[in-house]
Amino acid sequence: MRLRLLLAPLLVCAALSAALAGCTDEEPTGIEGKKVLRVGVKFDQPGIGQERRDGTFEGFDVDVAEYVAAALGATPEFVRITSDQRERRIRDREVDLVVASYSITPDRRREVNFAGPYIIGHQDIMVREDATDVAGVHDLRGKRLCQAGGSNSWRRVTVELGIKARLVPAATYGECVRMLQAGDLDALTTDDVILAGYALANPDAFRLVNAKFTDEKYGIGLHKDDIGGCEAVNRALTRMYQDGTAARLLARWFRPAGLKTTGHVPQFEGCS
Ligand code: GLU
């Protein structure tokens, strides 16, 4: 009898659970209300997202994700992500958020939702310290250029600007950096906020050309269906700028590399 009394509501719940949210303990599908948020971050980009020896992560994106998760009342659980995994892992709900030098682009916007942007970077070019033949983006013609999988940076040069560089594939920017140092590439082009971290870590090996030929609006990626979650992230990002946290984080992660950043909240693009 006692057992039946206990089971009855459970059975009713099971029957209705498809129709009635809140009847079971099921995890919410959007990010709001989740206690733990799985966040995809980079792991080999110093200053942005880098894995420490103990398996924890650090960098600007990591701190932004910590702030946003706390504002949503959740704890972040960081997982490594590469550029080419971002859309798929959001779509398959393997991650709740992606905070990984993730530029908002029209193509990506068709697949995922973007909160933000929370920072605007500019694409630049990095060469070996002693290189003298690349001063701007048009000098990349005929040069061996890294093609990091799933990234937009090489596309900006060869597809959008039509500059005929010789693309050399790599899985990550960390791999591009190793190839550049080893002489297997002539140049590496991506966002200044990423390149500055590599140059700072290896000041005798690399230098930035200071070409700055794009605006890269970094967004926080989340599931296409989660408009409410996207708006909640935007509220958290607004607060991050208003309470002085953004200015502190920008200074902490980018000032040592000599990058100038403003403390103004970027114009949001809107959730869709
Ligand atoms: N921000 C660029 C992009 O999202 C380059 C950096 C990256 O791939 O993470 O494609």
- d(CA 198, ligand 1 centre) in Å: 15
Mutate to test the pocket of ligand 1, among 44, 48, 83 (most ligand atoms within 8 A of CB): 83
| Domain 36-121+217-257: top CATH class | alpha beta
**Minimum-distance ligand 1 atom for the alpha carbon of 218:** 1
Phi, psi of 77 (to 5 degrees): -120, 110
Per residue in 177-187, pLDDT (tens digit) is: 999 999 999 99
Round the average pLDDT of the chain to a whole number and report it.
91
151's tokens: 């990234």
Mutate to test the pocket of ligand 1, among 45, 189, 191 (most ligand atoms within 8 A of CB): 191
Looking at this protein, which amino acid is placed at residue 83? S
* Residue 83 confidence (pLDDT) above 60: yes
Mutate to test the pocket of ligand 1, among 43, 84, 103 (most ligand atoms within 8 A of CB): 103
Same fold, 36-121+217-257 and 122-208: yes
Question: Is the peptide bond prior to 169 cis by the omega test (within 30 degrees of 0)?
Answer: no
Q: Which CATH superfamily is domain 122-208 in?
A: Periplasmic binding protein-like II (3.40.190.10)
Please say whether the beta carbons of 217 and 104 come within 8 A. yes
Alpha-carbon span 65 to 118, nearest angstrom: 11
Q: Residue with the nearest Cα to atom 1 of ligand 1?
A: 103
* Residue 254 confidence (pLDDT) above 80: yes
* Residue 18 confidence (pLDDT) above 60: no
Which residue ranges make up each domain of the chain?
A: 36-121+217-257, 122-208
Phi, psi of 86 (to 5 degrees): -60, -55
**Minimum-distance ligand 1 atom for the alpha carbon of 121:** 1
pLDDT on residue 15: 47
Please say whether the beta carbons of 153 and 187 come within 8 A. no
Around ligand 1, the residues with Cβ closer than 6 Å are: 83, 100-103, 148, 151-153, 190-191, 216
**pLDDT band at 26, cuts 50/70/90?**
low
| Mean pLDDT along residues 59-83 | 98
| Mean pLDDT along residues 158-180 | 97
Q: 196 vs 45, 46, 231, CA distance in Å?
A: 10, 9, 31
Report the percent of the chain where pLDDT is more than 70: 90
pLDDT on residue 14: 47
* Residue 28 confidence (pLDDT) above 90: no
Alpha-carbon span 154 to 140, nearest angstrom: 11
- d(CA 152, ligand 1 centre) in Å: 6
- d(CA 151, ligand 1 centre) in Å: 5
* Residue 16 confidence (pLDDT) above 60: no
> C-alpha 41: how far from its chain's center?
6
Q: Residue with the nearest Cα to atom 8 of ligand 1?
A: 151
- d(CA 46, ligand 1 centre) in Å: 14
Helices and strands, counts by H and E, the chain: 9, 13
